[in-house]
Amino acid sequence: MSRGTLIDLLYLVSATTFILALKGLGSPKRARLGNGVAAVGMLIAVVATFFKQVDGHNLHHVALILIAMAIGVVVAVPTARYVRMTAMPQLVAIFNGVGGGAASLVSITEFVHIHSTHPATYVTLEVLLGVLIGTVSFSGSAIAFAKLQELMTGRPVTYPGQQIINAVLGAAGLVLIIVILVTGQTGLLWVLLALAFVLGIAFVLPIGGADVPVLISLLNSFTGLAVAASGFTLGSNLLIVAGTLVGASGILLTRLMSKAMGRSLSNVLFSAFGSVITASGGTGADARPVRSGSPEDAGVLLSFASRVAIIPGYGLAVAQAQHVLRELAEELESKGIEVFYAIHPVAGRMPGHMNVLLAEANVPYEQLKELDEANSELQTADVALVVGANDTVNPAAKDDKSSPIYGMPIINADLAENVLFLKRSMRPGFAGIENELLYNPKTTLIFGDAKDTLTKIVAAVKAS
């Protein structure tokens, strides 16, 4: 067997591990194993590549390759390891963005390399598509990162004629591709690169912070497609398989994610969701009567309950209060009170994010109830404790047809006898929508930092 055949065989092994890995990632038991399998497959592919021959010679610049890899590892490992769990979505965004950038660069570099040999039209098309998609993913992810990291406003950025401008940008990209293919003016490649960069930014700007996770999933899929396009250019089955796998599964995953929010994908992408504070919004909000209480009141109420439902949201994670929350739950359990957590599928910043954050705080997995189960159990709960959640308990999703979140499944906190709503202020949630639950007669608001308030509640529960 020749060296080339052996390497191709190893690539086949590697591609197979990627398929198995995605399969594994779909089940809670095998997910971690799946990820490990893919990592091994990746290592095999990378090591094999060092021995590959291109254009009849061994790889040049091996030292440079190693240096570049070392730089990548030195930056990536600490970032991925030590960034707080709450910042996970941003991390995924940025690692996806650099992947898109890499795919775009690979296509460009290969094109520069083969340019003088006057490649066939279809090769040029592959390059152009790789550059377009990869670059959109790169600049789009960068904006998504900035939004999640709060380097810029998380609200949709809109301006007059935005949809039209974006449509024109997209059309210009396609026209440019056709022009390059027809005229062979390959210098225009750089214009396409610039255009794609602007398009990625313009595409992401009007998407609100609450929808950014869906967007990241879509951009992830784009990067996959860009990788597949590079695979065509380089003639690599491995890149085609891995890229297409991610591209196809990513688009489906994106649709599943928007479905979990009760919205269609086009609604997520093009409606500038959350740009206006709806309902009574803004100044009118403070005028309506709400009932507020002290942490001590809350402690007493909880101590005399027999079933308590905890409804956590992203605010919990921001306040780093998940450990105190678990402490409270344990304290209540020691008094014979039954405690469970009602987890909305999009609680936190991404689907499943809340499960990760609570697991980090050692909350027993059995206490976590998913939406449907949680809603049926809430009917028998004495107290629903809402910590840092807002949109996911907003009854407007059920009752108010004019509300932008109408149709999103929510946790029916108002089914419980009492609702304790821990809140920093009367400000509306991430999606920028007024929450009727705050004005419900069952609801007691407890203002303050979640961690601080919870600590006081724990003390009050201990005392009573």
- Residues marked active site are found at 391
Please state the closest distance from residue 452 (CB atom) to other proteins, in A.
Answer: 15
67: tokens are: 């240096």
Q: Which of residues 98-157 bind other proteins (CB under 8 A)?
A: 98-99, 101-103, 105-106, 108-110, 112-113, 120, 122
Residue choice 181, 260, 290, 459 for contact with other proteins (CB under 8 A): 260
Q: Which of residues 21-50 bind other proteins (CB under 8 A)?
A: 21-23, 25-28, 31-32, 34-36, 38-39, 42, 45-46, 49-50
Please state the closest distance from residue 37 (CB atom) to other proteins, in A.
Answer: 10
Name the nearest CA neighbour of 285 among 160, 175, 436: 436
Identity of the residue, 203 or 232, whose beta carbon is nearer to other proteins in the bound complex = 232
If binding is defined by CB under 8 A, does position 310 make contact with other proteins?
no
If binding is defined by CB under 8 A, does position 241 make contact with other proteins?
yes
Between CA 318 and CA 148 the distance in angstroms is 12
Contact pattern for other proteins over residues 153 through 192, marking x by CB under 8 A: ----------------------------------------
If binding is defined by CB under 8 A, does position 328 make contact with other proteins?
no
**CA dist 409 → 159, 208, 406 (Å):** 31, 19, 9
CB contact at 8 A, 411 and 393 = yes
Residue choice 174, 281, 352, 373 for contact with other proteins (CB under 8 A): 352
Q: Which of residues 62-91 bind other proteins (CB under 8 A)?
A: 62, 64-65, 68-69, 71-73, 75-77, 79-81, 84-85, 88-89, 91
Helix, strand, coil percentages for the chain (3-state, nearest 5): 65, 10, 25
Total Cβ atoms within 10 A of residue 332: 23
If binding is defined by CB under 8 A, does position 248 make contact with other proteins?
yes
3-class secondary structure, 388: coil
149: tokens are: 């990291």
If binding is defined by CB under 8 A, does position 359 make contact with other proteins?
yes
If binding is defined by CB under 8 A, does position 375 make contact with other proteins?
no
Residue choice 200, 243, 299, 429 for contact with other proteins (CB under 8 A): 243
CB contact at 8 A, 171 and 108 = no
Annotate 194-213 with b (16+ C-beta within 10 A) or e (fewer): ebbbebbbbbbbbbbbbbbb
Q: Could you give the strand order of the β-sheet that contains 418-423, starting from the edge strand earlier in sequence?
A: 368-370, 338-343, 307-312, 383-387, 418-423, 443-447
Please state the closest distance from residue 162 (CB atom) to other proteins, in A.
Answer: 27
Identity of the residue, 117 or 425, whose beta carbon is nearer to other proteins in the bound complex = 117
If binding is defined by CB under 8 A, does position 253 make contact with other proteins?
yes
**CA dist 430 → 31, 153, 215, 276, 434 (Å):** 30, 11, 16, 12, 10
Please state the closest distance from residue 250 (CB atom) to other proteins, in A.
Answer: 6
Contacting range for other proteins; rule: CB under 8 A; set: 52-60, 150-158, 265-273, 399-407: 52-60
Q: How many residues bind other proteins (CB under 8 A)?
A: 118
Sheet strands (E) in 88-133 = none
Q: Say which DSSP state 368 is in.
A: E
If binding is defined by CB under 8 A, does position 9 make contact with other proteins?
no
Identity of the residue, 241 or 413, whose beta carbon is nearer to other proteins in the bound complex = 241
Contacting range for other proteins; rule: CB under 8 A; set: 165-173, 204-212, 248-256, 387-395: 248-256
3-class secondary structure, 94: helix
Between CA 165 and CA 176 the distance in angstroms is 16
Identity of the residue, 146 or 251, whose beta carbon is nearer to other proteins in the bound complex = 251
Residue choice 92, 195, 415, 420 for contact with other proteins (CB under 8 A): 92
Helices (H) and strands (E) in the chain, counts: 17, 8
Between CA 302 and CA 463 the distance in angstroms is 12
Contacting range for other proteins; rule: CB under 8 A; set: 12-20, 204-212, 295-303, 452-460: 12-20
Please state the closest distance from residue 157 (CB atom) to other proteins, in A.
Answer: 24
* Radius of gyration, alpha carbons of the chain: 26
Contacting range for other proteins; rule: CB under 8 A; set: 145-153, 213-221, 283-291, 302-310: 213-221
